[in-house]
């Protein structure tokens, strides 16, 4: 048993989502979105070195020596599986551990809108999950993969950095590839995957123009492509995809995206009013014929109006979801205000001074 395992086990038992080790500071656990210190002395630079020496492989330590950070998965017999990022900072080294549940989640357990399951049943096209860091994008993707794994027969390939949820073989053959171990990059992995007879490709992060271009091409050929982007809002997600390309290619990309896009889920995690945990608040954009025309013509500024008017197609705005959660007393007015797009709508519900 490595010494870090005791702190990781504590975090799991308390229902935490992350554990932070930073030289010169106490160990902290993220509980319901807030970082809480553990009753333990501050970690020295020597402590950090000893902790890392126990659970990092020689290859991972060598990679850290060559750069400023390293990503990998760590599995503890006592505490379970974790996604780890070890990085350098002004006082030495730090490490962030993200807790990965033992079993992949189900769509039902995530309480995602019903239109998500409906769109997955289409079986082809591009499905995107967006949101800030720590908003549960990887968990939502895992839930989608788990649903497809149990509802259709085919070949699912995941490309991740690192591999997080380990998916069993149910109705599908599931192949999981890790960037840095099984392929040098997301783009190189995608080039190989399209020749491996996939029905579904899950891309852990669409980081660059080449990866996005290959994902769009794969979706155009009839493969279902699931991916994530670090953007806030469904409309910004569409703009980000188009704007990552040079101006001469943007008309072509708009056309490809308007044809292949199926769904955008842009999510935030909000704390429940009773402090029992956090809940997904998801903005949803469905690619209807009207939305497709807006994307093709470059009128993305009209997409929010389409979302607000598209409830019959399963669309919903983030502010609309927050208002519904607030009215049902699932979240507080302060929490809704903090996550809202148009904050003025929520000012009457705020108990604390918004300017404070």
Structure tokens at 339: 């996550």
> How far apart are alpha carbons 230 and 329 in whole angstroms?
29
CB 148 within 8 A of CB 58: no
How would you write the pLDDT of the chain (356 residues) with one tens digit per residue? 788 899 999 999 999 999 999 988 999 999 988 899 998 888 888 888 888 888 899 999 998 988 889 999 999 888 999 999 999 988 889 999 999 988 899 999 999 999 999 999 998 999 999 998 888 999 999 999 999 999 999 999 999 988 999 999 999 999 999 998 899 999 999 999 988 999 999 999 998 999 999 999 999 999 999 999 999 999 999 999 999 999 999 999 999 999 999 999 999 999 999 988 899 999 999 999 999 999 999 999 999 999 999 999 999 999 999 999 999 999 999 999 999 999 999 999 998 765 55
CA distances from residue 276 to 108, 271, 272, 273 in whole angstroms, order as listed: 18, 8, 6, 8
pTM flag (> 0.85): yes
DSSP-based three-state secondary structure for 265: strand
């Amino acid at each position: 048993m490595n010494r870090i395992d005791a702190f990781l086990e504590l975090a799991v038992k308390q229902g935490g989502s992350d554990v932070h080790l930073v030289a010169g500071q106490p160990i902290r656990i993220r509980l319901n979105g807030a970082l809480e210190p553990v009753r333990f002395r501050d970690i020295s630079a020597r402590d950090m070195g000893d902790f890392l020496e126990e659970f990092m492989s020689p290859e991972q330590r060598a990679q850290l020596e060559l750069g400023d950070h390293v990503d990998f998965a760590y599995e503890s017999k006592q505490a379970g599986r974790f996604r780890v990022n070890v990085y350098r900072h002004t006082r030495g080294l730090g490490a962030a551990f993200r807790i990965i549940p033992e079993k992949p989640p189900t769509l039902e357990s995530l309480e995602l809108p019903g239109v998500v399951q409906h769109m997955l049943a289409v079986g082809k096209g591009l499905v995107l999950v967006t949101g800030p860091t720590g908003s549960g994008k990887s968990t939502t993707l895992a839930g989608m993969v788990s649903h497809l794994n149990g509802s259709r027969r085919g070949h699912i390939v995941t490309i991740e950095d690192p591999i997080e949820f380990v998916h069993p073989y149910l109705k599908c053959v599931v192949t999981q590839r890790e960037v840095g171990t099984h392929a040098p990059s997301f783009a190189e992995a995608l080039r190989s995957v399209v020749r491996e007879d996939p029905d579904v490709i899950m891309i852990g992060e669409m980081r660059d123009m080449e990866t996005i271009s290959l994902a769009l091409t794969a979706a155009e050929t009839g493969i279902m492509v699931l991916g994530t982007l670090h953007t806030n809002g469904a409309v910004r997600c569409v703009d980000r995809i188009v704007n990552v390309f040079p101006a001469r290619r943007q008309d072509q990309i708009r056309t490809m995206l308007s044809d292949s896009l199926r769904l955008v889920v842009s999510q935030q995690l909000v704390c429940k009013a009773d402090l029992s945990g956090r809940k997904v608040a998801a903005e949803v954009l469905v690619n209807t014929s009207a939305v497709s025309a807006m994307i093709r013509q470059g009128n993305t500024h009209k997409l929010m109006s389409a979302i607000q008017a598209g409830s019959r197609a399963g669309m919903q705005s983030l502010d609309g979801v927050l208002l519904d959660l607030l009215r049902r007393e699932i979240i507080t007015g302060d929490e809704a205000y903090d996550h809202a797009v148009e904050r003025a709508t929520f000012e009457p519900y705020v108990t604390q001074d918004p300017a404070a």
